[in-house]
Structure 1
Amino acid sequence: MLATMAAVGPMAALPVPGTAEILQQTHLLDVHAGSSRSDLAHELRRGGYELMDGTPVRFRDWYSTRRPDLTILFLTEVSPRFGLIWGVSTGESGQKYRIDPALHLGIVLRHEPFEGAVISLSLVGLIGGDLNEKPCLADYGAIGGLQRVNCRLAASILPPDETLDYLVDEPGYRESWVSLRFEYRF
């Protein structure tokens, strides 16, 4: 316990901003609907096939959503040279896919090398937000009976169990980003 107090002691002297001060230093950075994962799910809407009885199956019905993935990002200025980027994404779902909600966390570093010039580096990572496609249960009649299958490939020439290898499974962290910006005002 003494070691813990010795380690925490110097940090206790640091000023801790209050809630009101943090709110004054926090700014809305971005609000947008959609994401690269949402775009991928939208691409899956293309196409379709007909069942043996001639009934059309449209992928559009499976890969549509009423509420697209909504992202809200904030910037909290810790100092004139350092800030925290944070926010959330709501996720989205359709009949045959799901995008999980996500947490965005990052930093921004700012440097003024000379008068009128600013260099900033931003790094933002995504925790969660995975896109997962759901399988279907298809009836292959006397040939194969009921089997789990990739919905989009149920009418393909692939064996049903092999179509499961083509289900979309896109991790959210792939939407993390790094930005380097140079600005010069004259």
Structure 2
Amino acid sequence: MLSSPLTAGAELCSLEPWQAAEFATFIDRHRAHLAPWLPWATSITDVDGARHFLQRYADAQRNDEGRLFAIRLDGALIGGTVFRIFDVPSGVCELGVWIAPEAQGRGLVTAAARRMIDWAFGVRGMARVEWRAAPHNLRSNVVAERLGMTREGVLREVFPLHGERQDLAVWSLLASEWRTAAG
């Protein structure tokens, strides 16, 4: 399995369909924590659902249209990152993250997001990385700020979740800003 170290004991690595049972268990254990922010946290309820979700991203990666990775701490799945949208012709991608509550506050999401952004800009030549988060998801919005992203505005009632229309704050980072920040 390919992996990239993040911190001592933590790594960013592939999360593939053959790992569906582990992913389903992770979701089941952390559903209450993830569900307010992630629609798939309530729609994935078994191993088959997890496999289908992971296969969708495996297919997206094969087609160069998305990517999904695990954040592991001492080998255990504790979170993940995703390029939900990866549009090479336009040079725009959308980065998303999630993490178990017991792993919060260690800088792992920020480290993983930085690795993903470095790759998107430096290897793939993307022009823009977007980050979308509920305006009241304070942790996610703080990470976007920490990454040097600019809050562009709020998409009002852009999608349904749990029977209610949800707003999303849109953050972005341009390749030129990332290169400047990296110095």
Bin for the TM-score computed over the shorter chain: under 0.3
| Higher strand proportion | 1
Higher CA-based Rg: 1
> Given the two structures, how large is their TM-score scaled by the length of structure 1?
0.26
| Higher helix proportion | 2
> Given the two structures, how large is their TM-score scaled by the length of structure 2?
0.26
